[in-house]
């Protein structure tokens, strides 16, 4: 079946930020300015948090190529022999920089090189001797495999990503490492969702819902406002697709509630307006699915009006593809209402 187009939100990648910091330390102070992000608002800002696993706001993406060069130069065999743990950490940093470039350029080869870097780091970091570093590397590996798996619609890569995140959770626990545990649970939920879409697998969707629910047990509005909103939104997206797969109105109603909660967090915590708009778009989209499934003319009319308001009121917060999606959904709802009325 064809699932609805919905918007997934991706939290900042802390491992990528640490990799950039590592690189700046090697590059020197003269390149610190190059790492500073441009704060001028552009249409591209409406893509923020929707582009993939390698989101970060603290640094400019212009630093990536310089960081890649300095890290690749540093990774000699002599360095590995003298300081294997530091060499492995540099492999982690290079892997994250390469994966960020891979996402930026949609370049499969760069993602594959990133995965190789994480594999190299795992040759040094072992679960027995370096459990936390091993878990962090597994999480880095899972992120790169998930990103490439989504880009290529590759089920094997997504399954490998699930395995990597599951490995990380062997060492990370809610009691001892709550932030890392919740982040890994969120990413595990995202990977199960992507995997389930490829497999058309309801059981896999259900595993995604459980993983997101686990993450929600740790995130709170005061300390993790964006992560909380993103997890509610993304959990709604899984329920949305599961409801479509099962043709189940109850699942769609659950998705609506999840999107509503995400929207509430965005508004109450004053997150960037485009995030609230994307939650509204997702909510109206699933309401359109529910109207079609239940042949509800009144609901279809309401949904058409919702999309009209979104288009008229938030044009500056909609990137072109999202604006097109809203127009298509509005027209679909209008047609559904007319067709259902005529049939009645």
Nearest-10 crossing angle of helices 64-74, 14-27:
70
Q: How would you class 201 by CB atoms within 10 Å of its CB: exposed for 0-12, middle for 13-18, buried for 19 or more?
A: middle
Name beta bridge partners: 55: 12
Range with the poorest average pLDDT among 220-224, 247-251, 259-263, 318-322: 318-322
Instruction: Judge whether residue 39 has pLDDT over 70.
Output: no
Tens of pLDDT along 134-174? 999 999 999 999 999 999 999 999 999 999 999 999 999 99
Helix 202-216, helix 178-199: angle, nearest 10: 160
pLDDT at 45 over 50: yes
CA distance 274 to 314: 8
Please indicate whether residue 184 or residue 51 has the higher confidence score (pLDDT).
184
Q: State the pLDDT confidence band at 42, using cuts at 50, 70 and 90.
A: very low
Cα 272 from Cα 323, distance rounded (Å):
18
Higher pLDDT, 31 or 65: 65
Q: Is the dihedral of CA 275, 323, 299, 194 positive or negative?
A: negative
User: Residue ranges of the alpha helices (H) in the chain?
Assistant: 14-27, 64-74, 77-82, 84-105, 108-124, 131-152, 155-171, 178-199, 202-216, 225-246, 249-268, 273-294, 297-313, 320-343
Q: Please give the pLDDT value at position 341.
A: 61
Query: CA–CA separation, 281 vs 229, rounded Å?
Result: 14
**Are 206 and 31 within 8 A, CB to CB?**
no
Residue 37: band (very low, low, confident or very high) from pLDDT cuts 50, 70, 90: low
- Output 150-156 pairs: Cβ under 8 A, ≥24 positions apart: 150/52, 150/194, 151/106, 151/108, 151/111, 152/108, 153/198, 155/195, 155/198, 155/199
CB 52 within 8 A of CB 10: yes
The yes-or-no verdict on residue 33 having pLDDT over 90 is no
Task: Tell me the pLDDT of the chain averaged across its residues.
Answer: 93
- Would you state the structure tokens that stand for residue 336, as one six-digit string? 């559904």
Does residue 326 surpass a pLDDT of 70?
Answer: yes
pLDDT at res. 297? 95
Tell me how crowded residue 30 is: count the other CB atoms within 10 A of its CB. Answer: 7
Q: What is the CA radius of gyration of the chain?
A: 21
Q: What is the share, in percent, of the chain residues with pLDDT greater than 70? A: 93
């Amino acid at each position: 079946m064809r699932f609805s187009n919905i918007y997934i939100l991706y939290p900042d990648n802390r491992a990528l930020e640490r990799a950039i910091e590592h690189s700046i330390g090697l590059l020197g102070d003269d390149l610190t300015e190059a790492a500073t992000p441009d704060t001028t608002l552009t249409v591209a800002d409406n893509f923020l948090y929707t582009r993939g696993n390698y989101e970060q706001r603290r640094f400019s993406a212009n630093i990536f190529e310089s960081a890649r060069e300095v890290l690749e130069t540093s990774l000699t065999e002599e360095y590995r022999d003298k300081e294997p743990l530091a060499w492995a950490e540099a492999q982690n940093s290079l892997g994250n920089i390469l994966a960020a470039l891979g996402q930026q350029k949609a370049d499969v080869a760069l993602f594959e090189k990133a995965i190789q870097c994480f594999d190299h780091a795992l040759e040094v970091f072992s679960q027995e001797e370096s459990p936390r570093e091993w878990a962090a590397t597994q999480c880095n590996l899972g992120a790169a495999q998930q990103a490439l798996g989504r880009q290529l619609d590759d089920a094997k890569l997504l399954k490998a990503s699930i395995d990597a995140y599951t490995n990380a959770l062997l060492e990370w626990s809610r009691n001892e490492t709550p932030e890392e545990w919740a982040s890994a649970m969120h990413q595990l939920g995202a990977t199960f969702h992507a995997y389930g879409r490829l497999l058309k697998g309801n059981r896999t969707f259900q595993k995604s819902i459980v993983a997101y629910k686990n993450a929600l047990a740790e995130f709170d509005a005061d300390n993790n406002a964006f992560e909380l909103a993103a997890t509610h939104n993304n959990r709604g997206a899984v329920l949305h697709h599961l409801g479509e797969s099962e043709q189940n109105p109850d699942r769609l109603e659950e998705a609506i509630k999840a999107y509503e909660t995400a929207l509430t967090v965005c508004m109450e915590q004053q997150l960037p307006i485009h995030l609230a708009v994307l939650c509204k778009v997702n909510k109206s989209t699933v309401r359109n699915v529910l109207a079609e499934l239940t042949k509800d003319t009144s609901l279809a009319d309401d949904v058409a009006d919702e999309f009209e308001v979104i288009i008229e009121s938030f044009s500056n917060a909609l990137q072109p593809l999202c604006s097109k999606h809203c127009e298509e959904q509005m027209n679909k709802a209008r047609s559904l209402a007319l067709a259902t009325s005529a049939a009645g």
